[in-house]
Structure 1
Amino acid sequence: MTDASVMNSATRGAICASDGTPLRDPSRPQPKYEPLKAWHHFRILLKDKENTAEVFKIFEALPSKTFIPRVRDLALSDQGEHLRATEADLPSILDDHAALRRLPAGSVAHAYCDFMEREGLSAAGLVEESEKADRPTYPDLIQWYGHRLRDTHDLMHVLTGYGRDALGEQCVLLFTHGQNPSHGHLLLGYAGAAHMKRLRKTSAPVWRAVRQAHKTGVACPSLVGMSIRDLLAMDLAEARQMLNIPDPDWYRECHRVWRQEGIDPYDMLAPASAQEDLAAA
């Protein structure tokens, strides 16, 4: 029996795309809601915010009840079929900076390349980080949708104007929650902000910044359902206007206040004593 025959037999009667890809692979286990496990991984993440594998473990422990309906609505639509045909591998598109640089100056593509090159990042690198969580993958539409969410994370930084500092990451996560709600985004965003407030005595408007990010995500059309190729070709300012993304002024105000208070926004999670030593050096 061929692999195709096995798949057809296994998915017979299941909800599938036109090419036979199932919405949910029959072997995919039902997710379990495990808040204590999520909290455990969150505490590990607080010790090393670059440990991206813990982020994926948190999401896995806090599955959203509305996730599958969102996958179904997009993946089984004409738009979803088009995206699967034209953007099957987003990392290869996003990491081809030579091709992206041929798009007009001022475009989302140029801003994306600038950001990724400045930060030393790549879409393939994010894939590698997600694989460190050692989670099985399945040939279904859930996997496709989840990969688009993962692969567009850094693009969200570019579109929203939030940096890769701790607050910027939390703002992007809450922006993402506004688009694709899950308790994982809420935990990382709001609990992370609360941890930051406990760690530092500061007058910076952290709560205003994260709430603004959350509201922006709600007002913005779903990025995962858009053509990323088309979005990359757009003028950055015009794309932000189309997507209802305002200037992240409360986030910028936090950075201004922190600098005034002698706090490095990009080292917020370091002990206060380390910050003082750095300032005295």
Structure 2
Amino acid sequence: MTTVADLAELVRAPAALSVPGDVVAGATAARALGPRTAALAGASVLLYWAGMAANDWADRRLDAVERPERPIPSGRVAPATAVGLAAGLTAAGLGLAAAAGGRRATAVALPLAAAIWGYDLTAKNTAAGPAVMAACRGLDVLLGATGGRVARAVPAALTVAAHTWTVTALSRREVTGADAALPLRTLAGTVLVAVAATASRQRDVTAALPVALAGWYVARYGGAQARVVAEPTAGRVRAAVGAGITGLPALQGALTARAGAGLLGLAVAAAAPLGRRLARKVSPT
């Protein structure tokens, strides 16, 4: 019998802590923070969980060989249950986005959902995989911006997308391990992402918070990648991917603080240590 714990593992439930910060960063940049922001963040979480379930459904035969302990190949979740859950969560996410943000939010949520399913079903194992997943996260940031000036959120969206590219590129070597060149490239990308997150015209004390949060992001995620460079085994690659997922709220917090919402940025970044704690119980990868 499938349990709630099995479904939580299927959708990588704790990893969803890395999702609301996308919407918050986009809303803050676009000057669109408000009651609808929370609802759009909820829609984003539903779409994220849908993508995780669809991912495992699409990978069920490969996982039977490489990760037989996963919910579907282990028999704890039926394939039909997984794909049905993915479809239901997608519909719920789109419905919530439409209810909260109207046509403007729907215009972003629909291509976001299409990109999620496109990655899982088609793009994941192609050269386009990292770019498609990066587009998913970039669109997620723009979803939060739909109540304001969306163009103002484009830099934040590109920054989160670039981070996502590094995580996705690493994730393709979670089972086999990698040569040192890959983590060197992604580490360089991570440093550039952190620099982009701190770029601001502010020159007073308020500029220190985005720098501190971006430094925290680099220390956690960049440090994990540096360990892969030293020893590029599958286990260290998986650890780096996990650090990239659970460390994303620190980057989102830096972007939020850079846009002028310092306390909110701290609140977003606080999801990073909580995500790391929960990742010990349910793997985020």
Q: TM-score, normalised by structure 1?
A: 0.30
For the pair shown, the structure with the greater C-alpha radius of gyration is 1
| Bigger relative contact order, structure 1 or 2 (CA pairs below 8 A, ≥6 apart) | 2
Q: Which has the higher helix share?
A: 2
